């Protein structure tokens, strides 16, 4: 996880830029929402995302479903 000077402990939804091996915090927060299920994902538990779609997923299964043709 890459953090910038504007990130830090904060409540609410974070805004992230997803990269191939990590993400950058654009707006501080403590979670993001899964693009498939809508459940909140704490940043320290975020493991699955799409660089192409710039969205997060709560599980490997949901990420796989999203990437299916």
Over residues 23-33, mean pLDDT: 97
Long-range contacts of 48-56 (CB under 8 A, 24+ apart): 49/16, 49/18, 49/23, 50/18, 51/18, 51/19, 51/20, 54/17, 54/18, 55/18, 56/16, 56/18, 56/32
Task: Supply the mean pLDDT for the chain.
Answer: 90
> What's the pLDDT at 11?
87
Position 10 pLDDT exceeds 80:
no
> What's the pLDDT at 9?
55
**pLDDT band, residue 53 (cuts 50/70/90):** very high
Position 1 pLDDT exceeds 50:
no
């Amino acid at each position: 996880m890459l953090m910038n000077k504007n990130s830090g402990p904060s409540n609410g939804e974070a805004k992230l830029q997803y990269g191939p091996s990590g993400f950058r915090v654009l707006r501080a927060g403590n979670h993001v929402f899964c693009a498939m299920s809508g459940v909140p994902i704490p940043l320290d538990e975020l493991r699955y995302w799409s660089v192409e779609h710039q969205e997060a997923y709560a599980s490997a299964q949901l990420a796989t479903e999203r990437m299916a043709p």
